[in-house]
Amino acid sequence: MKKLLLLVVAAVCAVTASAQEPGGMNLGPRLSIYTNTGDTVLGVGAVARYRFDSNWRIEPSITALLHEGCSLDISCDAHYVFDMGVVRVYPAAGLTVNEIGKWAAGLNLGGGIDFDVANVVELTAALKWQAMFDDIRPNPVVLMIGANFNF
């Protein structure tokens, strides 16, 4: 079951990225705090963003969850970006697979904001709710901060 869930998330990200024309890309580190999980869980990970046009982009990410037993959260979100010059705001929706207690898949719903710091660096903050498809645990709310480096 674990391998199937990981394969589904990877396939969605790969098909979405390859079906579009080339655009801007950026990479960066991400620090996450998972709440509503019983104990608060800290996550450290990396994201990549691929921009299809001036509004649409995807953001696949992988996060190591630093709690007892250590596990992963693998997500792929779509963003619709409202560009306001130095600041960009976006709603986000996507898929996630993680192991907080046991492996499960779910949906991501949320949004975020990006701030330009330099021509090649932006700071980002986001909040998302992960509606998981199992009924064993509560749905995590994730607060994320990070930086992205433009290519």
Q: Distance between CA atoms of 16 and 62, rounded to whole angstroms?
A: 17
Residue 13 tokens read as 């990200």
HSE, CB side, 13 Å, CA atoms: give it for residue 14: 6
Q: With contact defined as beta carbons under 8 Å apart, do 32 and 144 qualify?
A: yes
Over its length of 151 residues, how does the chain's per-residue pLDDT go in tens digits?
A: 444 444 444 444 443 333 223 478 999 999 999 998 778 889 999 999 999 998 999 999 999 998 877 789 999 999 999 999 889 999 999 999 988 777 889 999 999 999 999 889 999 999 999 998 887 777 889 999 999 998 7
Q: Name the 3-class secondary structure at 69.
A: coil
Q: From CA 145, how far away is CA 33, in angstroms rounded?
A: 9
Q: What is the pTM of this model?
A: 0.79
